[in-house]
Structure 1
Amino acid sequence: MLADRYVFPAIFHFADDGISVEFPDLPGCFSYGEDEIEALSNAKEALELHIFGLEDDKEIIPTPSHIKNIVTKKNESIVLIDIWMKPVRDFMKNKAIKKTLTIPKWLNDVAIENDVNFSQLLQVAIKNYLGISTNE
């Protein structure tokens, strides 16, 4: 069962040109911000997307390190990043995905003349085909 809430430590590296962020427990999860507010916001988004990717790939979510066990250097701070995954999962589930389709030119011309919304029509047609209520 997936957890809905995760709290991971992040290391904020302070430099003259901004703040880079890394998650010691999540290789490949990095972020950046020009100031603390932007760094925190971007770190939260990076963590959400990284955890979502792990969940989607059915990979194991690592156990977060205890902050007392993380060694920092000068100009570094540990920040706990707290995320709530339910809204992230809902957003990703309903995210629009671009599809490339091929139809005859004459049909495209007639549809354009009649102001057809291709995306909406395709969604309704697929839902009807699959027997899914169009109210979803």
Structure 2
Amino acid sequence: MLSMYPACFYKEDDGYSVIFPDLNYLATQGDSFEDAMEMAVECLASYLYIAQRDGEDVPAPSSLVNIDPVAVAKELDPDLPVGEAIVNLVSVDVAEYAKKHFEKSVKKTLSIPAWLNEAAVAQGVNFSQVLQRALKEQLHMA
């Protein structure tokens, strides 16, 4: 399912800044407009993926016509001069993006003693699941 949110793109001396006003002013940047758009897609996908994973509510996107990029910039820093600014819709299929970037499995090679391997195989142990559980526990992610 495609998710679409408006984002404010601000021309800077060294590229573009991007702000999603609907998503607690979530921000990213890029060296060019194209790079900023790619970073905005990644930023939006990451935010929505984590919110879905954690069961958090996500606000509905505003209409493009209701977003004033100058007002957004002034809300964040009233003293900052605002140059070239546009509002653009950023869209991403979070499930597809996650499959390619967040949930992609990586093959790892490891060594264990032969006796431990034989005992685990005899009991039908799934090595990948055991390693994932152990890593999550070690990294305090369980």
Which TM class, normalised by the smaller chain length? 0.5 to 0.7
Q: Do structure 1's residue 75 and structure 2's residue 78 form an aligned pair?
A: no
Gaps of 5+ in 1: 131-136
Gaps of 5+ in 2: 71-82, 131-142
Task: Return closer, same or farther for 1:95/1:52 CA change in 2, 3 Å cut-off.
Answer: farther
Q: Do structure 1's residue 62 and structure 2's residue 72 form an aligned pair?
A: no
Give the alignment's TM-score, normalised by structure 2: 0.64
Residue 93 of structure 1 aligns to a residue whose secondary structure is coil
Q: Which residue does the alignment assign to 1:84?
A: 93
Q: Which residue does the alignment assign to 1:45?
A: 42
Task: Return closer, same or farther for 1:56/1:28 CA change in 2, 3 Å cut-off.
Answer: farther
Q: Which residue does the alignment assign to 1:93?
A: 103
CA-based RMSD? 3.5
Q: Quick one: distance in 1 between partners of 2:60 and 2:54?
A: 17
Give the alignment's TM-score, normalised by structure 1: 0.66
Q: Which residue does the alignment assign to 1:126?
A: 126
Q: Quick one: distance in 2 between partners of 1:54 and 1:60?
A: 7
Q: Quick one: distance in 2 between partners of 1:66 and 1:128?
A: 45
